[in-house]
């Protein structure tokens, strides 16, 4: 089946630093990738839609200058948390939508990245 990887799987950083998280589709091309965030005991919250070759579309309430998204190729999207603060500590998950499209195609999720900001 389709595989999506994320790197790193976990990261601890100091407040004020920036952290980059990579999301790769390993065996398929994805023109669209999604970034989600999950707080403990809460649902997955969509942060932004990453489209290859164009600017990301951010959900309401998500700071685009803080969460920089770059979808440089059909297999790679990156999320950079800039000037991270403790409240940014969370579990970040990406998903990739196969190029073939069609509403019956499911998204494939990465394993997630645990970010802890001290």
Partner 1 sequence: DQQVKQNSPSLSVQEGRISILNCDYTNSMFDYFLWYKKYPAEGPTFLISISSIKDKNEDGRFTVFLNKSAKHLSLHIVPSQPGDSAVYFCAASALSGAGSYQLTFGKGTKLSVIP
Residues that bind partner 1 (rule: CB under 8 A) add up to a total of 31
Give Cα 114 distance to the centre of its chain: 12
* CB-based contact 100:116 (threshold 8 Å): no
> How far is the C-alpha of 105 from the C-alpha of 74, rounded, in Å?
17
Q: Which CB atom, from 68 or from 99, has the smaller least distance to partner 1?
A: 99
Q: Which of 44, 62, 68, 76 binds partner 1 (CB under 8 A)?
A: 44
Q: Counting contacts by CB under 8 A, is residue 49 touching partner 1?
A: yes
Give the range of 49-57, 63-71, 72-80, 82-90 binding partner 1 by CB under 8 A: 49-57
Q: What is the DSSP letter of 66?
A: T
Convert residues 52-81 into a mask of x (bound to partner 1 by CB under 8 A) and - (unbound). -----x------------------------
Q: Which of 48, 19, 24 shows the shortest CA–CA distance to 114?
A: 19
């Amino acid at each position: 089946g389709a595989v999506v990887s994320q790197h790193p799987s976990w990261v601890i950083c100091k407040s004020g630093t920036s952290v980059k998280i990579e999301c790769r589709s390993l065996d398929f091309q994805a023109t669209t990738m999604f970034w989600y965030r999950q707080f403990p005991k809460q649902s997955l919250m969509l942060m932004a839609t990453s489209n290859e070759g164009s600017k990301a579309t951010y959900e309401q309430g998500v700071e685009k200058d803080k969460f920089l998204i770059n979808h440089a190729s059909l297999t790679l999207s990156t999320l950079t948390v800039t000037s991270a603060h403790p409240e940014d500590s969370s579990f970040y998950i990406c998903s990739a939508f196969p190029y073939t499209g069609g509403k019956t195609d499911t998204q494939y999720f990465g394993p997630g990245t645990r970010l802890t900001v001290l």
